[in-house]
Chain A
Amino acid sequence: MIEARGLTKRYGRQTAVSGLDFRVEPGRVTGFLGPNGAGKSTTMRMILGLDLPSSGSVTVNGRRYRGMVWPLHEIGALLDARAVHPGRSAYNHLHSLAAANGIPRDRVDVVLEQVGLAAVARKRVGGFSLGMSQRLGIAGALLGDPGILLFDEPVNGLDPDGILWIRTLMRSLAAEGRTVLVSSHLMSETALTADHLLVIGEGRLLADMPLDELIARDATDRVEVRAVDHHRLAGELRTLGGEVTLRPDGTLLVVGVESAAIGELAAARGHVLHQLRDVTSSLEEAYFRLTEGSVVYRAPVPA
């Protein structure tokens, strides 16, 4: 289990992470979701004792990482797939890690087989594709057969086969009772793997709840209508008790009136409709609404 209490990191005057409180529980995949620059990697580095918190604390199995003697047996992490010496072979990279934690050498062959790199084990990693490097990083995380796994953006650079592979791997690791924390800025990907979500934006925790609950909480049924005379239709829908928003492109967004009722009303009043569509809430929308105010790197919207 990973537990953060008031975890805060400041770089000079910039606050990267601010007062995070959360617990990452075993037996499920926890998605760590947020836009780029939201503080996900900083948080992961603090979990691993690489960056020191400015205040607050984070513990792994109840202990601070810096005090652990053989950490790879408890927690394995993939931070940056490119963080390898390009001149070293995949086998030797893992061998040096195994040696550092008293892990028997035959585990190296086991994890290389597990991630599908056995055939290129003796090749220099400088020639690896990003996808192969990701697999090597995952092999390193699995080396000590740890109960906790941390993956920072693991699907980056993977082809569809690789993405499916890691999705299955993370689910099976959680099913074995392990704690799995996986960060991503891709909500669609996270929706397919995570059971539980931690959403952060601008270094603050925005949500800490099961995936279903986050979507359900946001699930208001809305109907999208395009009509030739949208101003008249909007007025008529409002008299039916609907809450109507007029978008700049002329589309009406209706809450509180079902699509069937809108269709009947339109037919009765002689409206010409170009579109009538139910909008169901998705994680993506819930995520956008949560992080709306907190996107750090946003491209200027052309006027």
Chain B
Amino acid sequence: MNAHLVRTAAEGRRHGPRARLRATARSEWVKLWSVRSAPAVLGATAVVIVLGALVLCSGYRSGWASMSASERAAFDPASTSLRGIEPAQLFVGALGVLAVTGEYGTGLIRTTLAATPQRAQVLVVKGLVLGAVVWAVTTASSFGAFALGQHLLTGPVPHAELEDPGVLRAVLGGGLYLTLIALFGTALGALSRSTPLGLAALFGVLLVLPLMVGLLPSGLADGILPYLPGEAGSQVWHVMPPSPHSLGPWQGFSLFALDVVVSAGAVLTLTRKRDV
């Protein structure tokens, strides 16, 4: 019988935990690319990162003469060309939130989890598939922004080469930081299961929290600010520390990675018991 043939043909693909993992990854891959939002947001992210280099680096040519000696000494040509990352993080973070909350909002999550009852696997693989794509796009964009930015920094303005100490790490760090932001958004989306709540949490942590800490007495603010997720994670794409209190690049990045791991752990613990 026809149905029987279909069954035996498919049987070969369905053996062992690795086959299960591959099937989940393939399903999430199809889902990611079959709606317009992901390609659109990823495209916008690439544009913002490169555009940031164009806007910021072309401004320095005229402004350099009026800068003080200390400002010139603190000038970081590599991270200046990468500062498009700051707006871009909102894009990839929102993409992470929506990757999960979009399924909860429509109820599609029930179909997804009925097809793959291994809930933890579904969420982890969803994050990893999105993370891999975000990493590829933002790493390429960071290199593009760096190349464009250094090309624009001419004349008296110093520019950086990839061979300079810390520069390659900073450019690669741009993609790594944005990948973690996307994963962080995915975790917040899975915790909140709601688009407005997830976005509020993400923007709250990345934008509002540093502002509120900034309102504290400066001694206190300097002690807290470097440890906030966005602030700590951002050190990895800077060559020169933006402030004397900043954590080291890998130190800060590891702390942010820990934040992401803890929130992912919370998701996996809760997901086992929660009804969908």
Contacts and interface: CB of A to CB of B under 8 A. Distances in A.
Interaction A to B:
yes
Looking at chain A's contact residues, the main secondary structure is loop
Contacts of A102: 10, 13-14, 19, 23
Given A80-B110, A100-B27, A87 B7 contact: no
A73 B116 CA distance: 12
Contact of A104 (B9, B19, B37): B9
Nearest to A48: B114
Nearest to B26: A99
Nearest to A42: B275
B7 A145 contact: yes
Interface string A83-116: 1111111001101110111111001000000000
B9 A79 contact: no
A84 B37 contact: no
Looking at chain B's contact residues, the main secondary structure is helix
Given A89-B34, A99-B27, A69 B20 contact: yes
Contacts of B108: 83-85
Given A72-B115, A100-B116, 20 more contacts: A49-B114, A50-B114, A50-B275, A51-B276, A67-B117, A71-B115, A72-B114, A79-B110, A80-B107, A85-B31, A87-B35, A92-B34, A95-B30, A97-B111, A99-B23, A99-B30, A100-B24, A100-B115, A102-B14, A145-B6
B113 A101 contact: no
B14 to A, nearest CB: 4
Contacts of A80: 107, 110
Contact of A107 (B6, B13, B107, B112): B6
A185 interface: no
A97 B27 CA distance: 7
The 6 closest A-B pairs by CB, nearest first: A83-B107, A92-B34, A100-B27, A99-B26, A99-B27, A51-B275
Interface of B: 3, 6-7, 9-10, 13-14, 19-20, 23-24, 26-31, 34-37, 102-103, 106-108, 110-118, 273, 275-276
A103 B111 CA distance: 15
29 contacts: A45-B110, A49-B113, A50-B113, A66-B117, A67-B117, A68-B117, A69-B14, A70-B14, A72-B114, A77-B114, A80-B107, A83-B111, A85-B31, A85-B103, A87-B35, A87-B36, A92-B31, A93-B34, A95-B30, A97-B27, A99-B29, A99-B30, A100-B26, A101-B23, A101-B116, A102-B10, A102-B14, A103-B10, A140-B111
A88 B103 CA distance: 12
Interface in A12-29: none
A89 to B, nearest CB: 7
Nearest to B12: A102
A73 B11 CA distance: 10
Contacts of A51: 275-276
A149 to B, nearest CB: 12
Contacts of B35: 85, 87-88
A244 B126 CA distance: 68
Given A67-B117, A85-B106, A52 B3 contact: no
Nearest to B113: A50
B162 to A, nearest CB: 39
Given A65-B117, A87-B35, A100 B112 contact: yes
Contact of B6 (A49, A82, A85, A104): A104
A291 to B, nearest CB: 26
A107 B9 CA distance: 12
B25 to A, nearest CB: 9
B23 A100 contact: yes
Contacts of B14: 69-70, 101-102
A84 B6 CA distance: 26
Interface of A: 45, 48-52, 65-73, 77, 79-80, 82-89, 92-93, 95-97, 99-104, 107, 140, 145
Nearest to B122: A100
A82 B37 CA distance: 19
Given A45-B275, A70-B14, A85 B102 contact: yes
Contacts of B27: 96-97, 99-100
Contact of B106 (A68, A72, A84): A84
Given A70-B14, A99-B23, A104-B6, A83 B110 contact: yes
B30 A86 contact: no
Nearest to B37: A87
Given A96-B30, A100-B24, A101-B23, A79 B111 contact: yes
A83 B103 CA distance: 8
Contacts of B102: 85
Nearest to B14: A102
A158 B111 CA distance: 21
A203 to B, nearest CB: 16
A82 B107 CA distance: 8
Given A66-B117, A102-B14, A145 B3 contact: yes
A88 B115 CA distance: 18
Contacts of B34: 88-89, 92-93, 95-96
A83 B275 CA distance: 16
Nearest to A140: B111
A66 B120 CA distance: 12
A48 B115 CA distance: 9
Nearest to A95: B30
